[in-house]
Amino acid sequence: MPGDIHLIRLEYGKANAIDGRLTSSLAAELDRAIENGKKAVVLTGREGFFSAGLDLRGLPEGREEMASFLDEFEKLNQKLLQFPLPLVVAVNGHAIAGGCILASTGDVRIGAAGSYKIGVSEVSLGIVFPASAFEIMRATLAPRFVPQVLLGGKLLGPETAVEAGILHRVVPADELLVEAEAAARELGEKPPIAFRHSKLALRAPILERIEKTRAEARRLFLETWFSPEVAERRKAMLAK
């Protein structure tokens, strides 16, 4: 992309599953965009997968280690919410659970036309949402989609994801990055102080609710993640 737009392409294994390596690398790339004086960022995945969510195979097995990873995931979510530059997310494949949450932090969210799915599966798996994940999705979803997506775990195609508020629009796959760059450039030309202040003001209520609910949601996430029932569901998902 042209020099003033920073492109971040997630390429971590086949499905861009989220683990400690992905969270730290993405956080570092966001910092790099600011350090290098970029005007905006475009975040995309690899063809077929934006991100399939948390890496069920590679995440820590110990409770303390998993708690540390959860804290890093939440820090990344908050970093994305507070990111001072315009962030355009170009969804080019499945964005499930944590992948949907990452995508939903974008100021502009554009999807490629296709047969992939978008949504959150935490309730279906039996785990409690981390505070940042829940608040991001609550702020993103159109109210009429909350029962089926947030509570019911229904996965949506890209066109329906526009109706649900997860995506802003869908474009032909071969035009995705061109459209994303144009959107990033348009926002990147806005006066930066005014843009940053308006973005933070819009997201202040989300960040306040995250702080209020973080500790209890963290406790319940770990309690459910390590429960025998969820362990069985995770095993069944990995066997598919």
Q: What is the pLDDT of residues 30-61, one digit of tens each?
A: 999 999 999 999 999 998 999 999 998 888 88
Which residues, other chains included, contact 172 with Cβ-Cβ below 8 Å and sequence gap of 6+?
112, 113
Q: Which two tokens stand for residue 181?
A: 């760059």
Q: For residues 230 and 68, give the distance between their C-alpha atoms in angstroms, rounded to a whole number.
A: 19
pLDDT band with cut points at 50, 70 and 90 for residue 123: very high
**pLDDT at site 238:** 75
**pLDDT at site 2:** 65
**pLDDT at site 53:** 92
Q: For residues 64 and 21, give the distance between their C-alpha atoms in angstroms, rounded to a whole number.
A: 17
Q: What is the DSSP letter of 114?
A: S
SS3 189: coil
SS3 65: helix
Q: For residues 24 and 127, give the distance between their C-alpha atoms in angstroms, rounded to a whole number.
A: 23
Over residues 15-32, mean pLDDT = 96
pLDDT in tens, 54-81: 998 888 889 999 999 999 999 999 999 9
State the CB neighbour count (10 A cutoff) for residue 143: 8
Q: Are 165 and 142 in contact (CB under 8 A)?
A: yes
Q: For residues 155 and 58, give the distance between their C-alpha atoms in angstroms, rounded to a whole number.
A: 23
pLDDT in tens, 99-119: 999 999 999 999 999 999 999
pLDDT band with cut points at 50, 70 and 90 for residue 9: very high
pLDDT in tens, 141-173: 999 999 999 999 999 999 999 999 999 999 999
Task: Look at residues 45, 86, 46, 50 and name the one whose alpha carbon lies nearest to residue 182.
Answer: 86
Q: Which domains occur in the chain, in start order? A: 5-188 (3.90.226.10)
Q: Which two tokens stand for residue 120?
A: 């959150």
Task: Look at residues 176, 19, 28 and name the one whose alpha carbon lies nearest to residue 89.
Answer: 176
Residue 86 has pLDDT above 80, yes or no: yes
Q: Which two tokens stand for residue 33?
A: 């965009």
